[in-house]
């Protein structure tokens, strides 16, 4: 277990020097990401990486942006969005003003998907979507709202399966090999940096989405983050997790009711 | 070279043509098989649990999709879920990741093999079956370098020989076996 001990120490010093805490992340995943960073940058040993990032803040920033970026797509798991339309939207519609938090939004595909869904359900005008991520580069991309045209076939397919009501191409303008999401979708979106492992609750929401983020955390951190969501939800507010995620390790598990077991949608009940 | 026959865990990787071979090598394993088996079979991302259902109908041993943070137990064949990488953690639980595809694949065989090699070291048996890409070759090398045992399906018995062939060409495959031999071997292995 010598190898893992070395990584643990490295992550401890990252926390000590820069205040980024990865010590409660799922170890195998984080080690894999560090290794691919080392491979891509031709760094042979962890010691070498440590030397490089500990004394050079720019190098550290680069490292942090590389190892915290998550992959995402428009309307990923279409049935999840379909279930939102069916089980959640009508209840959200009873609020005069709706606040949504998308935690770990990465490059924003999920945020734009939600904006499209809310527009089609006639709720976007009175909704504010708070989209947060630990990764500033990803957030910057999210704000720009640009995607590659090569993704559009898959995204259109997802959109239709998700119960999309219009033509997916209504929501973007294609230029060369890129597409730009319709600017009006962005009107009610606030992008900001938030670190789930360390930062506190910052508002109260009727809906929180955090999909395929918890899988990167260990059980302790998963439970902490669920508690953070619990505190950030209004009574009878909704929580949507990723397909393979659960409340199994959460201290607050009993405070939620399953709305859709398969699609991992929960409601805060007490 | 003689095959050792005591292990802590077995990992299997398969791609195109894998289902048939998988049934062949798993269907006679008893419910109380003493070693956990962890499998990456490349599969469609839209298929939620069909693979497990089909295999369970053909097998006595318990077949299930691996859950996040689940404790790895004997008597079970775990499959990586569609569209997620499956990783083994040091405390012998699973992690899932949605990181970019590796070798155009998610789940990727290399990701499972490499993380399992670090945890089980010489107690790991890695088996690579039929497939049309190069996934698994790097993982086989890592298993071998960590002291584990490596087997590839003989390319002439594979519907798609590319995958076992790439692994064999790394020089880190110890045994090249037909599906019959792999099945026979699994029926005699013991817990280390």
Over residues B164-178, the pLDDT tens digits come to 999 999 999 999 999
Q: Which of A82, A215, A221, A223 to mutate to test the interface with B (most CBs of B within 10 A)?
A: A215
Q: Could you tell me the pTM of the whole model?
A: 0.93
pLDDT value at position B2? 62
Which residues in A lie closer than 8 A to residue B95 (C-beta atoms)? 26-29, 215-216
Catalytic residue positions of B, numbered: 15, 42, 135
| Domain range summary for chain A, segments of one domain joined by + | 2-67, 78-268
pLDDT value at position B130? 97
A108: left (phi over 0), alpha (psi -120 to 50) or beta: left
Choose the closest CB to B89 out of A27, A245, A246: A27
Helix (H, G, I), strand (E, B) or coil at A180: strand
Helix (H, G, I), strand (E, B) or coil at A248: coil
Q: Residue B89's closest chain A neighbor by CA?
A: A28
Alpha-carbon distance of B40 to A188, in angstroms, equals: 42
Residues of chain B with pLDDT under 50: none
Alpha helices by DSSP H, listed for B9-108, are 18-26, 50-58
The kind and range of the H/E element at A160 are helix A152-161
Query: Could you tell me if residue B131 is inside a domain?
Result: yes
**A248 interface with B at CB cutoff 8 Å:** yes
Average pLDDT on A1-7 reads 75
- A-B Cβ pairs (cutoff 8 Å, strict): 57
Average pLDDT on A177-195 reads 95
Which residues in B lie closer than 8 A to residue A1 (C-beta atoms)? 90
Alpha-carbon distance of A99 to A107, in angstroms, equals: 20
A32/B99 CB distance under 8 A: yes
Q: Does the bond joining B107 to the residue before it have cis omega, within 30 degrees of 0?
A: yes
Question: Over chain B, what is the mean pLDDT?
Answer: 95
Range of the domain at B52: 6-191
Which residues in A lie closer than 8 A to residue B84 (C-beta atoms)? 215, 244
CATH of the domain at B19: 3.40.50.180
Which residues in B lie closer than 8 A to residue A248 (C-beta atoms)? 69
Q: Please give the tally of structural domains in chain B.
A: 1
Alpha-carbon distance of B182 to B152, in angstroms, equals: 9
**ipTM for the predicted complex:** 0.91
Judge whether residue A1 has pLDDT over 80. Answer: no
- Provide the pLDDT confidence category of residue A2 given band limits of 50, 70 and 90: low
A244/B84 CB distance under 8 A: yes
B98/A1 CB distance under 8 A: no
Judge whether residue A114 has pLDDT over 50. Answer: yes
CATH number of the domain located at residue range(s) A78-268 in this protein:
3.40.50.150
The pairing of strands A178-181 and A146-148 is antiparallel
Alpha-carbon distance of A80 to A104, in angstroms, equals: 17
Q: Which of B46, B80, B95, B107 to mutate to test the interface with A (most CBs of A within 10 A)?
A: B95
């Amino acid at each position: 277990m010598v190898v893992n001990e070395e990584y643990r120490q490295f992550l401890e010093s990252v926390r000590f020097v820069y205040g980024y805490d990865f010590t409660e992340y799922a170890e195998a995943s984080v080690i894999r990401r560090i290794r691919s960073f080392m491979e891509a940058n031709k760094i042979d040993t962890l010691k070498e990486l440590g030397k490089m990032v500990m004394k050079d803040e720019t190098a550290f920033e680069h490292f942090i942006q590389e190892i915290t970026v998550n992959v995402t797509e428009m309307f990923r798991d279409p049935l999840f969005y379909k279930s939102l339309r069916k089980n959640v939207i009508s209840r959200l519609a009873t609020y005069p003003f709706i606040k949504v938090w998308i935690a770990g939004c990465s490059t924003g595909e999920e945020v734009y998907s939600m904006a499209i869904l809310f527009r089609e359900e006639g709720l976007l005008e009175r909704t504010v979507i708070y989209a947060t991520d630990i990764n500033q580069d990803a957030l910057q991309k999210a704000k720009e709202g640009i995607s590659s045209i090569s993704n559009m076939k898959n995204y259109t397919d997802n959109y239709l399966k998700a119960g999309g009501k219009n033509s997916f191409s209504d929501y973007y303008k294609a230029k060369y090999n890129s597409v730009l999401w319709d600017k009006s979708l962005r009107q009610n979106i606030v992008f900001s940096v938030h670190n789930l492992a360390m930062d506190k609750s910052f508002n109260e929401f009727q809906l929180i989405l955090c999909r395929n983020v918890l899988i990167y955390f260990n059980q302790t951190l998963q439970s902490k983050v669920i508690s953070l969501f619990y505190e950030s939800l209004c009574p009878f507010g909704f929580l949507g997790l990723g397909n393979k995620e659960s409340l199994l390790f959460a201290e607050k598990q009993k405070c939620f009711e399953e709305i859709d077991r398969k699609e991992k949608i929960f409601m805060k009940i007490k | 070279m003689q095959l050792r026959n005591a292990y802590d865990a077995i990992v299997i990787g398969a791609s195109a043509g894998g289902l048939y071979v998988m049934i062949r090598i798993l269907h006679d394993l008893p419910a109380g098989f003493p070693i956990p088996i962890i499998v990456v079979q490349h599969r469609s991302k839209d298929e939620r649990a069909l693979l497990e259902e089909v295999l369970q109908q053909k097998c006595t041993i318990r077949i299930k999709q691996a859950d996040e943070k689940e404790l790895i137990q004997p008597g079970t064949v775990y499959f990586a879920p569609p569209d997620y990488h499956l990783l083994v953690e040091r405390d012998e639980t699973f992690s899932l990741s949605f990181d970019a595809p590796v070798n155009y694949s998610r789940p990727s065989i290399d990701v499972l093999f490499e993380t399992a090699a670090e945890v089980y070291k010489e107690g790991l048996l890695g088996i690579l079956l039929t497939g049309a890409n190069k996934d698994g070759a790097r993982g086989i090398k890592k298993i071998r370098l960590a002291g584990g045992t490596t087997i590839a399906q003989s390319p002439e018995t594979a519907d798609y020989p590319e995958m076992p062939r790439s692994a064999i060409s790394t020089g880190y495959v110890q045994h090249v076996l037909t599906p019959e031999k792999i099945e026979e071997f699994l029926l005699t292995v013991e817990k280390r």
